[in-house]
């Protein structure tokens, strides 16, 4: 990635009260946007993204807040919609016109589950964090934009991902440019986040390199040591990534906080139905507009 622009203090921003009870503001003073410490953190995470396509903010939330979040995701996990598929990295159908070893013809089992956003109550800790204006401003500053926007999608805006034992999320690309996540419960073993930063671009699918990875060449693969309470900012549109198979008896729970650089983000109806088992009216309205992606990449 290109070198990030270093930024300096420029004004204050008022954050929601959630910051002081949820976020470790001693280590992460997101309430003090005019301070040098704030912008030092912004520059640090900008550099991480520029270097490796991902930033990990360690122990971002207070331990007592994490315990509340763990309880919330544990209580909500039984409401998750399970989707069992055999998929390639592009979530597309087989194409017999391509060589047998092409990544579009390389499939793996995917069994995971999602709790839709409309099932997460307004008074939960995870939802208060998601809506907090100071948290959003901090993320926007790290991303180098004036503002980020919550998804307009009522199901996909704030989501809990559940991976049960023996489940995995195989090699894939995201349909959105970036995603913000926070694990609340770690599996006993497995469940590692692995990725190859920027293996493709908006102009080049780089099928040869993608194929080498999905067929077992992991020489370029990075493994993130993500723990509960860490916030991860990841650019998954161009970086191939997976969560390895969960081992042991504990489920792996991750909160997915959906933001976008433009307002009005709505998921496609077909993909929404796969993830959540249902759709809302807004998905069909979006489908009717024939809105396409800004790039021509395979999903």
pLDDT at res. 26: 93
Q: Say how many Å lie between the first and final Cα of the chain, rounded.
A: 21
pLDDT at res. 133: 93
Domains observed in the chain:
58-288 (2.60.120.620)
What is the C-alpha separation between 250 and 124, in angstroms, rounded? 22
DSSP 66-130: HHHHHHHHHHHGGGPEEEEEEE-TT-----TTS-TTSGGG--EEEEEEEE-GGGS-TTSHHHHHH
Contact 125, 61 (CB under 8 A): no
Question: In this structure, what token pair is assigned to residue 177?
Answer: 């440019």
What's the CA dihedral at 116, 121, 122, 123 to 10 degrees?
-140
What is the C-alpha separation between 108 and 124, in angstroms, rounded? 35
What is the C-alpha separation between 81 and 47, in angstroms, rounded? 37
Burial class (CB in 10 A: 0-12, 13-18, 19+), 96: exposed
Question: In this structure, what token pair is assigned to residue 167?
Answer: 């489940």
What's the CA dihedral at 272, 173, 244, 277 to 10 degrees?
10
Q: Could you tell me how many residues make up the chain? A: 299
46-95 confidence digits (pLDDT tens) = 999 999 999 999 999 999 999 999 999 999 999 999 989 999 999 899 99
Q: What does each of the 299 residues of the chain score in pLDDT, given as a tens digit?
A: 545 655 554 444 444 556 668 999 999 999 899 999 999 999 999 999 999 999 999 999 999 999 999 999 999 999 999 989 999 999 899 999 999 999 999 999 998 899 999 999 999 999 999 999 999 999 999 999 999 999 999 999 999 999 999 999 999 999 888 999 999 999 999 999 999 999 999 999 999 999 999 999 999 999 998 999 999 999 999 999 999 999 999 999 999 999 999 999 898 888 889 889 999 988 988 666 655 556 778 87
Alpha carbon 232 to its chain's center: 7
Spatial neighbors of 110 by CB under 8 A, at least 6 apart, are 83, 84, 85, 86, 87, 168, 169, 170
Q: Which residue has the tokens 């070198």?
A: 3
pLDDT at res. 102: 97
pTM for this prediction: 0.90
CB count within 10 Å of CB 100 equals 7
Contact 210, 200 (CB under 8 A): yes
């Amino acid at each position: 990635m290109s070198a990030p622009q270093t930024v300096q203090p420029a004004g204050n921003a008022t954050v929601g009260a959630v910051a002081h009870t949820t976020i470790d503001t001693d280590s992460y003073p997101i309430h003090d946007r005019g301070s040098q410490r704030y912008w030092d953190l912004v520059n640090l995470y900008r550099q991480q993204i520029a270097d490796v396509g991902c930033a990990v903010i360690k122990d971002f939330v207070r331990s007592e807040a994490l315990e509340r979040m763990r309880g919330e995701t544990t209580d909500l996990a039984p409401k998750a919609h399970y989707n069992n598929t055999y998929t390639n990295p592009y979530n597309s159908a087989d194409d017999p016109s391509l060589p047998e070893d092409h990544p579009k013809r390389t499939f793996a089992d995917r069994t995971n589950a999602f709790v839709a956003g409309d099932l997460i109550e307004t008074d939960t800790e995870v939802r208060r964090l998601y809506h907090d204006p100071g948290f959003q401003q901090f993320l926007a500053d790290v991303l180098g934009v004036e503002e980020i926007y919550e998804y307009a999608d009522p199901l996909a805006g704030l989501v809990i991902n559940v991976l049960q034992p023996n489940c995995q999320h195989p090699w894939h690309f995201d349909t959105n440019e970036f995603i913000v996540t926070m694990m609340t419960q770690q599996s006993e073993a497995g469940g590692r986040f692995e990725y190859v930063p920027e293996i493709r671009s908006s102009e080049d699918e780089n099928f040869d390199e993608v194929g080498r990875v999905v067929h077992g060449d992991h020489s370029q693969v990075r493994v993130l040591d993500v723990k509960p309470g860490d916030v991860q900012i990841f650019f998954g549109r161009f970086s191939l990534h997976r969560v390895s198979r969960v081992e042991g008896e504990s489920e792996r729970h991750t909160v997915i906080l959906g933001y976008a650089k433009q307002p009005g983000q709505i998921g496609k109806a077909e993909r929404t139905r796969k993830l959540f088992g249902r759709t809302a009216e807004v998905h069909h309205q979006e489908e009717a507009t024939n809105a396409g992606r800004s790039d021509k990449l395979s999903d």
